[in-house]
Amino acid sequence: MITTASLHLSDRPAETDALGRFPFARSLAQSLVSVGSEDGLVIGIEGSWGTGKSTVIGFIRKHLTDAHGVDSQPVIVEFNPWMVSNTGAMVDALVSQIAVALHVTLGVLEEKLKVGEKLLGYIGLIKHLKYLKYVPGIGFAGHIAEDAAGYAATIAEGVEGARKAAEDVEKLLPHLDLAKKKADVADALRKLNRSIVVIVDDLDRLPEDELRLVVQTIKAVADFPRTTYLLAYDRDIVANALGAGIPEKGRSYLEKIVQVAYPIPPLFRYQLRSFLDAKLQELFAAMGVELREYESTIYEGCTHLVSRIVRHPRDVVRLMNRLWLSLPATRGEVNAIDVIVFEALSQRFPDVRDNVHRHPTEFIGQSFRGDYDDDQLRGQKASSLVGAEARSKPDARQWERHLPPTASDSILAVEACAFLFEHVTEEKESLPEDELRIADPDRLARFFRMTSLESVPEVTSIHHDLANPDALEASLSSVSSAELGFLLEWICNYTPSCTKLNGYGSIEKLVTAAINTEEKAELTSPLAELFANVLVRIMRRAASEERVRGLAYIADRAPLSVAEPLLLSAAAEQGKWIIRPQEKLPTDKQLVSDSHAVDSALATWSDRIRKNAQDGQLANEPRLQSVLYRFAQLNFAYEETYEIVRGICASDGGLRNFLSEFVSENSFNSPDTFGLIEDANAFAARVRNSVMSDDYAWVANLISSGDYPNAIAMQAQRLKGLRGANLDNAVAKSRIPV
């Protein structure tokens, strides 16, 4: 549950020492109050933005307060030059702030009143001197030791108003001894016997002219005894400002002002990684996020990578604030670990984020849905289910041109992109959508939108259906045949990421939907493949007992063309497919590990083929050649299969369905292509005498010419002679250690 009280992390300095900075702060605090009664000191804490300077100052302040009693506690002056409205008031503000701090810290001590009086007198004099330079005809240059006669000579030719002002100045001169006023302040501070620590944070955030004025004020006006100035700044920024664009000059000047400078202790990578991990765990707890198994497996790699992308603790805090929006908005829809890495990449390199959005094909190998028509997208998606080699892959050189030009930055961006998009640049057993990876175009689009996509169901809805068979049945029955393919695609894509799958219940509902589609004569080959792909994925996610029951149910009830891929996978992974005996897998990786269950399911499916062949129904089966090949190969029944083929092709409808799977001008056409034909000349004659003669004359001409008739005949003779012993030998020869 997300609580409204803690929606974002504050950028204020940390109050807890998550990075081991307190010992450094304690040592520095002790040095601040060790100055002698005659000395003043300027100490610098140097570090770039976000490295924790303000946090260290907070620890120093705490130690100064806690480590001393009331009577010996140093006077801490918090001076924020940002609060001063104009540069002309900077000196007044600093000295006034010291006076105020003395009043607050020392209460009603008489010494405090004296020091305050001296400080205020000092400020008043500075104000008088500052305004004298604006008196017409005087041009006051700051040297108040000159006598009135000198001023009178200067303004002898001036106007009457200027002469009158000069007379006023002459009366004031005995009291305008700035050096004496400052000495009075110094003497009062010595008698006070208290250390004063003036803290000036965020010095580097000031405009250049104000920054220079603060430094000059500390050096020339407010360098009091027993007073230590603690300045926090980025050395490079301050040096550039003091040197008016010449850093070397500025650094030299800074060294004259700051007696000792301490760089913020650098963080080791493991410290930043631990800090990042702690903040992420706090975030997950606040949001009620539980990482799924496929997210947990890449979490460590994520923290290693992100701890290199972020530069300091403040970057981590900013990243957490980004995740307060993006993680809830993509929860259950996009891999949470990818969201973390992509947000870190976006924060550090916003141009890379923009380029991913503008050029998705160069990062993930595909465009976003809507950038081309849905048929193209469906083709890309369907091909991706066949194997990783079928999907488009981006050329690494294409997306590298969108990365930062600096070598160190480019290396980080490359590593982040490899983490996010590795599924499309390398061969992987799983696909991006299996784990809701951002490399899937729909998941990437969902991330960018931070809300539902048009015409794309939410992953959480698909997961709900897979956990509730009745809901799945309702979803399958509510779509048209034209929309059914897309729904099956979504179910197929997001089954692997479902953690509460009702395996057998989902199998029953999908088989029923396939039967209904077949009865309406709407079961096309692509739809049959999609049904099969979904069922295979559900089977792999189901428990062992559900797999056995599911395979038996599919073999007995599902359309033959839908059941065929599952039976092939189950048999091949047990080493029962003679065409590819090397596909045998270890028992724990098999679709169904029970050998008897696979044999029984195959027998059931084969009997249905025989029955449908006798009834004439097989002639209308989608993916007919795939069904016949698997029947022949898995049963060593080529002779029976040739007989079935002759029966199918006896009718024009059956012949058309059988021929429809041949492709003309296919460079891969060879005698092997026609492995279901026993007699090439007889089959060619059947084609020429049919109503399909014009459309498929190329088949008849090809198989009846040259060496084809003899090659096909010899091939058929060899295939009819295959027996179980051949399979055993093939498996033995092809087996490799696993």
- pLDDT tens digit string along 386-428? 444 434 455 555 778 888 989 999 999 999 999 999 765 455 5
H or E segment to which residue 695 belongs: helix 693-703
The average pLDDT across 297-317 equals: 95
Q: 363-367, 575-579, 609-613 — which one is most confidently predicted on average?
A: 609-613
Task: Indicate the number of domains in the chain.
Answer: 3
Residue 51's pLDDT is 82
Confirm if 591 and 567 have CB atoms less than 8 A apart.
Answer: no
pLDDT per residue as tens digits for the range 166-206: 455 445 444 545 577 677 777 777 877 788 888 988 888 88
The average pLDDT across 225-237 equals: 89
Q: At what angle do helices 624-635 and 638-648 cross, to 10 degrees?
A: 160
What is the CATH number for 208? 3.40.50
Query: Does any domain span residue 395?
Result: yes
pLDDT per residue as tens digits for the range 318-343: 999 999 999 999 999 999 999 999 99
Query: Does any domain span residue 633?
Result: no
pTM: 0.74
Report residue 446's pLDDT band, with 50, 70 and 90 as the boundaries: very high
Specify the residue for token string 């051949």: 726
H or E segment to which residue 225 belongs: none
Structure tokens at 674: 């026609």
Residue 159's pLDDT is 43
Could you tell me if 336 and 441 lie in one domain?
yes
Could you tell me if 393 and 464 lie in one domain?
no
Does residue 369 have a pLDDT over 60? yes
Q: 64-68, 145-149, 700-704 — which one is most confidently predicted on average?
A: 700-704
Report residue 697's pLDDT band, with 50, 70 and 90 as the boundaries: very high
Task: Please give the Cα distance from 33 to 194 (Å, whole number).
Answer: 9
Query: In sequence order, which ranges of 73-194 are alpha helices (DSSP H)?
Result: 90-106, 110-132, 148-154, 160-172, 178-192
Could you tell me if 206 and 322 lie in one domain?
no
Query: In sequence order, which ranges of 331-455 are alpha helices (DSSP H)?
Result: 336-348, 350-358, 361-364, 374-386, 396-400, 407-421, 441-449
Task: Indicate if the alpha-carbon torsion angle 347, 352, 357, 361 is positive or negative.
Answer: negative
Could you tell me if 434 and 383 lie in one domain?
yes
Residue 196's pLDDT is 85
Could you tell me if 483 and 605 lie in one domain?
yes
Could you tell me if 444 and 466 lie in one domain?
no
The average pLDDT across 145-170 equals: 44
Other CB atoms closer than 10 Å to residue 68's CB: what's the count? 14
Residue 48's pLDDT is 87
User: Hey, is 323 helix, strand or coil?
Assistant: helix
Does residue 732 have a pLDDT over 50? no
Query: Does any domain span residue 1?
Result: no
Mention every residue, 6+ apart, whose C-beta is less than 8 A from residue 329: 450, 451
How far separated are the first and last CA of the chain, in Å rounded?
Answer: 45
Could you tell me if 261 and 276 lie in one domain?
no
Residue 333, Ramachandran bin (φ over 0: left; ψ between -120 and 50: alpha; else beta) = alpha
Residue 356's pLDDT is 94
pLDDT per residue as tens digits for the range 45-85: 998 888 888 889 988 888 888 877 767 788 888 887 776 65
Query: In sequence order, which ranges of 478-637 are alpha helices (DSSP H)?
Result: 481-494, 503-519, 525-541, 544-557, 560-573, 595-615, 624-635
Of the given ranges (373-382, 439-448, 619-628), which has the lowest mean pLDDT? 373-382
Does residue 711 have a pLDDT over 90? yes
Does residue 118 have a pLDDT over 80? no
Count of helices and strands (H, E) across the chain: 36, 5
Q: Is pLDDT larger for residue 41 or for residue 598? A: 598
User: Hey, is 195 helix, strand or coil?
Assistant: coil
Name the CA radius of gyration of the chain, rounded.
Answer: 42
Looking at 240, 266, 292, the residue that finishes a domain is 266
Residue 112's pLDDT is 52
Could you tell me if 254 and 297 lie in one domain?
no
Query: Does any domain span residue 730?
Result: no
Residue 731's pLDDT is 44
Does residue 135 have a pLDDT over 60? no
Reported as half-sphere exposure (CB side, CA atoms, 13 A), residue 327 has a value of 25
Residue 140's pLDDT is 37
Residue 126's pLDDT is 56
Query: Does any domain span residue 104?
Result: no
Query: Does any domain span residue 627?
Result: no
Query: Does any domain span residue 364?
Result: yes
Nearest to 608 by CA among 533, 548, 557: 557
Looking at 609, 642, 671, the residue that finishes a domain is 609
Residue 121's pLDDT is 62
Could you tell me if 407 and 470 lie in one domain?
no
Q: Is pLDDT larger for residue 628 or for residue 71? A: 628
H or E segment to which residue 654 belongs: helix 652-659
Could you tell me if 344 and 427 lie in one domain?
yes
Does residue 521 have a pLDDT over 70? yes
Nearest to 466 by CA among 491, 485, 441, 443: 491
Does residue 709 have a pLDDT over 90? yes
Of the given ranges (54-68, 294-308, 517-531), which has the lowest mean pLDDT? 54-68
Report residue 12's pLDDT band, with 50, 70 and 90 as the boundaries: low
Could you tell me if 427 and 463 lie in one domain?
no
Looking at 409, 429, 449, the residue that finishes a domain is 449
* Residue 507 lies in domain: 457-609
Q: Is pLDDT larger for residue 471 or for residue 110? A: 471
Structure tokens at 459: 């992953």
Nearest to 148 by CA among 169, 179, 164: 169
Could you tell me if 590 and 480 lie in one domain?
yes
Task: Please give the Cα distance from 591 to 115 (Å, whole number).
Answer: 88
Query: Does any domain span residue 100?
Result: no
Mention every residue, 6+ apart, whose C-beta is less than 8 A from residue 703: 674, 677, 680, 683, 684, 709, 712
Task: Please give the Cα distance from 488 to 470 (Å, whole number).
Answer: 16
